[in-house]
Structure 1
Amino acid sequence: MPVIDAAGIRTRYEMIGDGPPILMFSPGGFDSSLENWTSFGRYKQLGFIEALSQRYTCLVFDRRESGQSGGRLERLTWPKYIDQAIGLLDHLGLDKVHTMGGCVGCSSAALLAIEQPERVRSMVLFSPAGGVTYRAAQHRRFTQHLGFALEHGVQGVVDHARSTTAGFTKDPRVGPWAAALRRDDSFASKFAATSLARYQTIVSGSARLLFDRDTVPGPEPEDLQLLEIPALVVPGEDLSHTRSAARYLEECLPRAEYWDVPVVDQTPEASTARVLEFLAHH
């Protein structure tokens, strides 16, 4: 698969299909690799790539610090995730795209529309991550990681991350930079040389500001309320993808269509048909 530099981040991507482009923000939290559209949780049954690529070009990529994309040891922020996506669009010369987010990818899709509304034709926000329990779980994960770092040092984080294939979601000890630590020896060396005090500030700041609300993290509600971009919002219904998170997006987005269907009825056939119907009108 092609690899480019996007906003200073090594970025692996793939373009599948033929037709108008859809920039797809992967599900999977801190392990948001492009393969997640076909291998992660519900998405391996839903078959979005196969269905959408019959009429559209699906542009999928590894989010920074995921899959085979690179990383940077800095406080993680939603705008920095968007910088990578904008760099990818710029490299490919894509002036205007549909977007689709799955899970936490919905936060990035919405924020891209806020940052560069002229480049977004429409948004599909499928099973957005968010809610009280979701925020608490994210903070708990960062706290567990920081506890491990304080006990074993920054070098201990590197050593543990490189001794396993588990991601941050399943094993908080590896931290959110685990994928880049495993792939890039130079990055791992620089990472290990970071002082513990500096690392503690980066980790605690990332957790506090990435997950600062009990609904969909990332975009501010007032910015969402000013968006004139059509959006299809599809609810989840578990503790990480609450119906309240989806309803929040419906409430904030002026041109939102809410697909009020329980997850049990969001079959592959029904889901792909609803998404294709929405895209065809925009």
Structure 2
Amino acid sequence: MPIVELDGIRTRYETVGQGPALLMFSPGGFDASLDNWISFGRYKQLGFIDALSPHYTCIVYDRRESGQSGGRLERLSWPNYVAQAIALLDHLGVDSAHAMGGCVGCSSAALLAIAQPHRVRSMVLFSPAGGVTYRVAQQRRFAAHLAFVAEHGLRAVLDLARSTDAGFSKDPRVGPWAATLRHDDEFARAYAEADPERYEVIVSGTARLLFDRDTVPWPEPEDLRVLDVPALIVPGQDTTHTPTAAPYLQECLPSTEYRDVPVAQQTKEACAATLLDFLARH
């Protein structure tokens, strides 16, 4: 797969299919690799790439600090995630695209539309993550990681990350830079030698600002309420994709189609038909 440097971040990406561009923000939390569209949880069964690629050029990529993409030891932020996406569109020469987010990828899709509404033809927000339970779980994960660092040090984080394939979402001890630690020796050396106090500030700041509210993380309601980009919202139904997250987006966004269908009825065929119908009209 192609690899390009975007704003100093090594980024693995792939384009699949033909037709109008569809930029896809991967599900999977801190393990948001492009492979998740075909291998992760429900997405393995829903087969979005197979359904959409005959009609659209699906642009998928490893979000920074995920998969084979690189990273930087800095406070992680939603604007940084969106900057990577914009740089990828620029690299590919894509002036406008549909945007689709799965899970926490919905936050990035919405923020891309807020940052550059002229480039986003429509948004598909599928099973958005958010809610009180989600926020608490995310912040608890960061706390567990910092506790491990305080007891064992950053060298132990590096050793642990390289001894397992578990990501931060499954094993908080390995931290949000686990994927980069595994394949980037230069980054790994700098990480292991980083100042522990500075590292604690970076991580605690990341936890506080990435997950700063009990709704869908980060997009401000005032920005959503004046966004003219049409959106299709399909709700989730568990402790991560809480039933409150999708209605929040529906309330804030002025131009939405809300498919209030129980997850059990969100079959491969039904979801494909819903997405293709919506995208064709925009």
TM-score range, shorter chain: over 0.9
Mapped partners of 1:161, 1:221: distance in 2: 37
What's 1:34 paired with? 34
* Equivalent position SS for 2:153: helix
What's 2:143 paired with? 143
What's 1:49 paired with? 49
* Equivalent position SS for 1:42: helix
Whether the aligned pair in 2 keeps the contact of 1:232 and 1:258 (CA below 8 Å) is yes
Mapped partners of 1:257, 1:8: distance in 2: 37
Deviations, residues 42-98 of structure 1 (Å, cap 9, x unaligned):
000001000000101100000000000000000000000001001100100101000
Deviations, residues 213-266 of structure 1 (Å, cap 9, x unaligned):
011002111100010000000000101001210000000000011001111110
Mapped partners of 1:171, 1:30: distance in 2: 11
Distance apart, 1:35 and its partner CA: 0.4
* Equivalent position SS for 1:257: strand
What's 2:123 paired with? 123
What's 1:168 paired with? 168
Whether the aligned pair in 2 keeps the contact of 1:225 and 1:252 (CA below 8 Å) is yes
Aligned residues: 282
Mapped partners of 1:122, 1:5: distance in 2: 27
Residue type at the aligned position of 2:277 = E
Please give the residue correspondences for 1:75-224 in structure 2 after superposition, counting only pairs within 5 Å: 75-224=75-224
Residue type at the aligned position of 1:158 = L
Runs of 4+ in structure 1 deviating by more than 2 angstroms, as ranges, are: none
What 5-or-longer segments of structure 1 have no aligned partner? Answer: none
Q: CA RMSD in A?
A: 0.5
Range 101-110 or range 158-167, more displaced = 158-167
* Equivalent position SS for 1:33: coil
Mapped partners of 1:236, 1:225: distance in 2: 22
Q: Percent identity?
A: 71
Range 158-167 or range 42-51, more displaced = 158-167
TM-score, L = length of structure 2: 0.99
What's 2:264 paired with? 264
Distance apart, 1:150 and its partner CA: 0.5
What 5-or-longer segments of structure 2 have no aligned partner? Answer: none
Whether the aligned pair in 2 keeps the contact of 1:154 and 1:195 (CA below 8 Å) is no
Mapped partners of 1:134, 1:70: distance in 2: 26
Distance apart, 1:6 and its partner CA: 1.3
Mapped partners of 2:263, 2:159: distance in 1: 40
Mapped partners of 1:7, 1:103: distance in 2: 25
Please give the residue correspondences for 1:220-231 in structure 2 after superposition, counting only pairs within 5 Å: 220-231=220-231
